[in-house]
């Protein structure tokens, strides 16, 4: 995400940029998914991926099913240009395989609000690419860290991509680890 020439703003501040450039990275037919900014037409697929990914964690599925409002993805970050999607070849077709949404955390730094990959598309580097994309965007905007409230089943993944635990957060589903990624030269534009 970047403001068009002549427009200023921080892509992590909703409404601070009147127009967005859609940055596209990758090749869905090659070895890497296409990463691009989500558009309104993506919402049904984002909802499909969100629900499938959320319910794929057996330990959390009962609590989520007991509170169906937790399984509703509204796509608030789409209109603000904060949601990025990964398009990959699935069953011979280009499909939305995962997505990530950045928001501004309480400390003003970027916070990873969403990171979901469809269960059939896991272990293909899609989540890793989405994290790298989010880090690239944050670094480009002048930020030095990204934080996330993770869940226990994703903790090993977050550690593997460079996040470190910095504390605990209380969520409606119970305590969850807070993690932080230091942005390095590898995340430069």
The CA–CA distances, whole Å, from 174 to 44, 109, 113, 168 equal 28, 24, 17, 10
| CATH number, domain containing residue 137 | 3.40.630.30
Task: Convert the pLDDT of each residue in 2-19 to its tens digit.
Answer: 333 333 345 554 334 333
Q: Could you tell me the residue range of the domain that residue 25 belongs to?
A: 2-187
Between CA 126 and CA 13 the distance in angstroms is 25
First-residue to last-residue Cα distance in the chain: 11
The CA–CA distances, whole Å, from 82 to 2, 14, 78, 136, 152 equal 11, 8, 6, 13, 25
Into how many domains does the chain fold?
Answer: 1
If 0-12 CB within 10 Å is exposed, 13-18 middle and 19+ buried, where does residue 77 land?
buried
Task: Convert the pLDDT of each residue in 16-66 to its tens digit.
Answer: 433 333 344 554 445 568 999 999 999 999 999 989 888 887 777 777 777
Residue 168's H or E segment, with its range, is strand 164-171
| Share in percent of the chain as helix, strand, coil (round to 5) | 30, 35, 35
């Amino acid at each position: 995400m970047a403001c068009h020439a002549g427009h200023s703003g921080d892509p992590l501040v909703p409404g601070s940029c009147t127009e967005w450039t859609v940055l596209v990275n990758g090749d869905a037919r090659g070895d890497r998914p296409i990463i691009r900014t989500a558009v309104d037409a993506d919402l049904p697929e984002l909802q499909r991926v969100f629900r499938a990914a959320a319910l794929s964690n057996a330990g959390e599925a009962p609590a989520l099913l007991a509170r169906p409002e937790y399984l509703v993805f509204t796509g608030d970050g789409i209109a603000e240009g904060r949601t990025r999607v990964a398009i990959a070849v699935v069953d011979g077709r280009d499909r939305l395989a995962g997505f990530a949404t950045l928001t501004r955390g309480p400390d003003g730094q970027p916070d990873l609000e969403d990171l979901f990959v469809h269960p059939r598309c896991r272990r293909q580097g899609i989540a890793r690419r989405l994290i790298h994309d989010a880090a690239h965007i944050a670094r480009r905007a002048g930020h030095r860290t990204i934080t996330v409230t993770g869940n226990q089943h994703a903790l090993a993944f977050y550690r593997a991509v460079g996040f470190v635990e910095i504390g605990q957060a209380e969520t409606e589903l119970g305590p969850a680890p807070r993690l932080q990624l230091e942005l390095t030269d590898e995340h430069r534009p």
